Amino acid sequence: MPASNAPETTRQRMIGLMYIILLCMLALNVSSEVLSGFELVDDSLTSSAQNTNAKNKVLYKDFEAYYKTNPEKTREWYMLAQDLRRRSDALYNYIDTLKWKVVRECDGKDADIHNIRKSDDLDAAAKIMLPPTGREARKLKRAIADYRDHIVLLVNDSLKRKIIMDNFSTQPSKRAKRQGHNWDSSMFENMPVGAVITMFTKLQNDIRYAEGEVLHTLTNNIDVGDFRVNQIKAYVIPSSENVVRGGAFRANIVLSAEDSTQQPRVFVNGRLLDPRKKGLYEVTAGKSGVFPVEGYIETKLEDGSVRHHKFSRKYTVVEPMATVSNTMMNVLYAGINNKVSISVPGVPGNQISASINNGSLTRSGYDWIARPTATIFFPSLFYSCL
Cα separation, 3 vs 114, in Å, equals: 55
85-105 residue pLDDT tens:
999 999 999 999 999 999 999
**Per-residue DSSP letter, 379:** G
Structural domain spans, the chain: 18-222, 231-317, 323-380
pLDDT of residue 58: 93
27 pLDDT higher than 60: no
H/E stretch holding 294: strand 289-300
Cα separation, 103 vs 117, in Å, equals: 9
Lowest-confidence pick of 203-217, 232-246, 251-265? 232-246
More confident residue, 26 or 319: 319
164-215 residue pLDDT tens:
999 999 998 888 788 888 999 988 988 888 889 999 999 999 999 999 999 9
Its pTM stands at 0.60
The confidence band for 33, taking pLDDT boundaries of 50, 70 and 90, is low
Lowest-confidence pick of 200-209, 299-308, 355-364? 299-308
pLDDT of residue 386: 42
Residue whose C-alpha is closest to residue 156's, from 20, 1, 305: 305
The confidence band for 247, taking pLDDT boundaries of 50, 70 and 90, is low
Sign of the dihedral through C-alpha 5, 7, 12, 14: positive
CA atoms within 13 A on the CB side of 313: 6
When pLDDT is averaged across residues 253-280 and rounded to a whole number, the result is 76
- Report how far Cα 360 is from the mean position of its chain's Cα atoms: 73
pLDDT of residue 276: 81
385 pLDDT higher than 90: no
342 pLDDT higher than 50: yes
More confident residue, 157 or 250: 157
When pLDDT is averaged across residues 234-247 and rounded to a whole number, the result is 60
In the predicted model, what is the mean pLDDT of the chain? 79
